[in-house]
Each structure stands twice: as structure tokens, then as C-alpha cells.
């Protein structure tokens, strides 16, 4: 997600058609990486089509970069000027304060039923859906085919094979045999991918409570520290200092043997002529049974009323063709079953098929917890120390668990 810092108002016609006309304000995130593909253009086209069919409704859309959009919405809400709709990274705080409509107060039954079940479930707080999934992605292990061929390697299926491949790549002079970005930008993602591959995760599958310092998670980080980082297989930058964007750039430059990536890395690598393959994340004993999924969210604030108009607009936003157009423009996975079915079968979407196949096996961050924001921030700050030379995986995970327990008890 590239930050353009663009602020654009789209279709903002105001109250012009008499007292019966309703203006809905939507604040949305920018998924583009240049002025040419800014999300402004997607919304502009969508809004034009919708307003032509609904002359009594105007949609005023403001698009902000991912660096700014969550903070902008918070400012508006704190000032008592909540937008009707926000398409941002998290919804749980607003749901906890009873500021949001429930999804079934807005959406038609066919639209609600069309969401991919994992994503709809992740939008729930205490069994009620407030977060409406808007975009999703999963992660796969990317590997550089040229470097693998040169070293006579096949893609790994287990941690042991991954470590052996990394040793062979290091012997060939590869700069980052395995890139392990545990820097502050997105350490919570790399961490979760590894925890899941070790049979653990941030939360307990049965109780839903945080289990960050579980035996499985400690074992995973001990393995990472001893078998990858400690043996110099993660490159010249300490994992705690390596951000995802820098790891992706290094992969696109041909300097990385393996790393976890999402669909946007395909375009980056292809543009630089890097030949790559993608396989499920290796696990302790075989390919990981659970992948990491990520979703961004649409939500509707109750402040201004307009539930009927908001619901009708959202039904249009989630029309199959509109979901497909957005997903294809930004190399993201559709959040609806109808669009997923089309993309799974379509030749033009063949490169996304491996990611689509991972989605039903995926687990998302515990985004329904208001505590997750604090836990995620603490993971970003601390987790890199767990694999440093003097670091203690059990000690760091225990500190993170303490943060999680405190944050959860404050919910």
C-alpha cells in the first residue's frame, strides 16, 4: 500500500437537489502507488454510475493515503463529525463505543450471504458483524527461481528444508537467504505467519483469549533465533531493523532468496524482471495448514442516520462486477464468494489463484478485539529483540502476553 498523501474530494456536489436529497460522506483509503492508479479514480467511476441511478443521493468521497486515513477518521469522529462511511484498517474501537450500524441493519440478505465466511466472521464483535470486509489478501512464501536454480534447490515444505535452502543460498553469496522483516512497519504480520506455521498464533483457537507466550510460539521463535538468525541466514540487516517495504524492494532487486509476500509483490518483482515462484508457508513438519489472511474494512457510522441510503449504496459497492474491478486493479483478493468464483476460473486472474486457494485456510488478526491495536503496536516494538543475539524469545513473548492481558481486561 503506497502512501501518496493525496487528498481528493470526489463527486462532492453537496446538497443541491432540494430538501429530499441526501449526501453521504465516505472516507476511503488509497490503494494506488501513483497518480495513475489512485483509488480516487475507482471511486469516481463508481460514484458517477451510482448517482446516475439514484438522483436523490450524492456521494462525497475523500481519499487519503494509508499513512493518514485511520487518523483522519478518528479526528472526524472525535470532533463529532463522523462520516457516514469509512473504508479503513480497523473497526473494533468504533463498534465498542456503539458508533456503528450492524451489517444486517444495512445490507440486503443476498449481499450479506455473499461474503467469504472467514472475513465476515472477523468483522464480528460478540457475534454481531460491524466490520464489512472490503479487500483481502493472503501470504505465500516467494522464492527467487534464478537463485534457487543456481544453487540446485527445490522450494521448501518444512522449516528444516527452509533452513537448508537458506544455508545453500548463503554459500552462493545471496545477500538475504531468507528476509525476515521484524521491523516496526509490519512485524505483526511476519510474526503471525511464523506463529501459525508452528501450530500457534496470537490467540487460543478454542477460547479466543491471547496465547502469545504459548509453548508452540516460544518454540517457533527459539527455532527462528537459533536456526536462521543465529546462523547468519537472514541478511545484513538485523530482523528488528528490517521493514517489509525494504525486504520487498530487496526481493525485487534480486537480493533475496525467500520471503513471505502478498500479491502486490508479484507486480514489483515482475517489473524488475525477477523470476519467482510461490508456495505455501513451510511448517514445522510440512506445509503450513493455516495461512495468514488480512482484511481492510468498510463501516457505517450511526451519527447522521441515513441507514437506508447507506445500505443501498453498499449493496451497489459489493456488486460482483464492482468487487472484481477493484480486486483486479490492485491485485487484491475479492471479499465475496461470487467474485472469488469468477477469479478462480478466469485466465486473466491465474496469478492470484494460489492466494485465492489460501483464503479458505486463512486466519486473520484478532481484529474484533479493541485490545488488538495495543497488542499489535507492542509486537512491532518488541518482537525483533526476541531473535537478536542476546534476546530471549520466552521473555519477549511473556512481555507481549502481559500487554495483551492488560489490554484485554480493559476492554
Q: What is the pLDDT of residues 99-140, one digit of tens each?
A: 999 999 999 999 999 999 999 999 999 899 999 999 999 999
> In the predicted model, is pLDDT for residue 279 greater than 70?
yes
Question: Would the pLDDT of 180 be above 90?
Answer: yes
Domains by residue range for the chain, with CATH:
8-137+294-364 (3.40.190.10), 140-280+371-409 (3.40.190.10)
Per-residue pLDDT, 19: 55
**Ranges 4-13, 141-150, 303-312: which has the least confidence:** 4-13
33 in helix, strand or coil? coil
Mean pLDDT calculated for residue range 290-312: 95
DSSP-derived letter for residue 105 is G
Helix 320-330 with 337-345: angle, nearest 10 deg:
60
pLDDT class of 67 with cuts at 50, 70, 90:
confident
* Residue 353 CA: distances (Å) to CA of 12, 134, 278, 279, 316: 37, 19, 11, 12, 25
pTM for the structure as a whole:
0.86
pLDDT tier, 15 (very low <50, low <70, confident <90, very high otherwise): very low
The per-residue pLDDT for 37 is 87
Mean pLDDT of the chain, nearest integer = 92
* DSSP assignment letter at 237: S
Q: Can you tell me the mean pLDDT for 155-177?
A: 98
Amino acid at each position: 500500500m503506497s502512501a501518496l498523501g493525496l487528498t481528493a474530494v470526489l463527486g462532492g456536489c453537496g446538497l443541491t437537489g432540494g430538501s429530499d436529497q441526501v449526501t453521504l460522506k465516505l472516507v476511503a483509503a488509497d490503494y494506488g502507488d501513483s497518480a495513475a492508479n489512485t483509488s480516487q479514480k475507482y471511486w469516481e467511476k463508481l460514484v458517477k454510475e451510482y448517482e446516475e441511478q439514484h438522483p436523490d443521493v450524492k456521494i462525497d468521497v475523500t481519499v487519503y493515503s494509508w499513512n493518514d486515513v485511520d487518523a483522519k477518521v478518528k479526528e472526524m469522529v472525535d470532533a463529532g463529525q463522523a462520516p457516514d462511511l469509512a473504508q479503513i484498517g480497523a473497526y473494533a474501537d468504533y463498534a465498542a463505543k456503539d458508533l456503528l450500524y450492524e451489517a444486517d441493519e444495512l445490507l440486503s440478505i443476498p449481499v450479506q450471504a455473499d461474503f467469504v465466511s472467514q472475513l465476515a466472521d472477523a468483522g464480528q464483535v460478540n457475534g454481531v458483524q460491524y466490520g464489512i470486509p472490503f479487500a483481502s489478501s493472503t501470504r505465500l512464501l516467494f522464492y527467487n527461481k534464478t537463485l534457487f536454480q543456481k544453487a540446485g534447490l527445490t522450494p521448501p515444505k518444512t522449516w528444516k528444508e527452509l533452513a537448508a535452502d537458506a544455508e545453500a543460498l548463503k554459500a552462493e553469496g545471496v545477500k538475504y537467504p531468507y528476509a525476515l522483516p521484524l521491523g516496526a512497519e509490519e512485524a505483526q504480520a511476519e510474526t503471525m505467519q511464523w506463529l501459525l506455521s508452528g501450530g500457534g498464533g496470537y490467540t487460543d483457537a478454542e477460547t479466543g483469549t491471547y496465547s502469545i507466550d504459548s509453548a508452540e510460539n516460544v518454540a517457533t521463535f527459539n527455532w527462528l533465533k537459533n536456526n536462521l538468525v543465529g546462523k547468519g541466514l537472514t541478511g545484513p540487516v538485523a530482523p528488528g531493523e528490517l521493514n517489509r517495504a525494504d525486504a520487498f524492494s530487496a526481493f525485487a532487486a534480486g537480493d533475496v532468496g525467500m520471503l513471505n509476500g502478498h500479491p502486490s509483490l508479484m507486480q514489483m518483482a515482475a517489473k524488475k524482471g525477477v523470476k519467482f515462484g510461490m508456495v505455501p508457508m513451510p511448517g514445522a513438519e510440512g506445509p503450513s495448514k493455516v495461512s495468514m489472511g488480512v482484511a481492510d474494512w468498510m463501516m457505517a457510522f450511526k451519527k447522521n442516520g441515513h441507514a437506508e441510503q447507506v445500505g443501498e449504496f453498499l449493496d451497489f459497492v459489493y456488486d460482483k462486477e464492482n468487487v472484481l474491478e477493484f480486486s483486479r486493479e490492485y491485485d487484491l483478493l475479492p471479499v465475496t464468494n461470487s467474485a472469488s468464483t469468477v477469479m478462480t476460473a478466469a485466465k486473466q486472474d491465474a496469478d492470484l489463484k494460489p492466494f485465492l486457494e489460501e483464503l479458505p485456510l486463512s486466519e486473520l488478526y484478532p481484529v474484533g478485539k479493541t485490545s488488538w491495536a495495543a497488542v499489535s503496536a507492542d509486537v512491532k516494538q518488541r518482537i525483533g529483540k526476541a531473535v537478536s543475539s542476546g534476546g530471549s524469545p520466552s521473555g519477549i513473548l511473556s512481555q507481549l502476553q502481559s500487554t495483551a492481558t492488560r489490554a484485554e481486561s480493559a476492554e
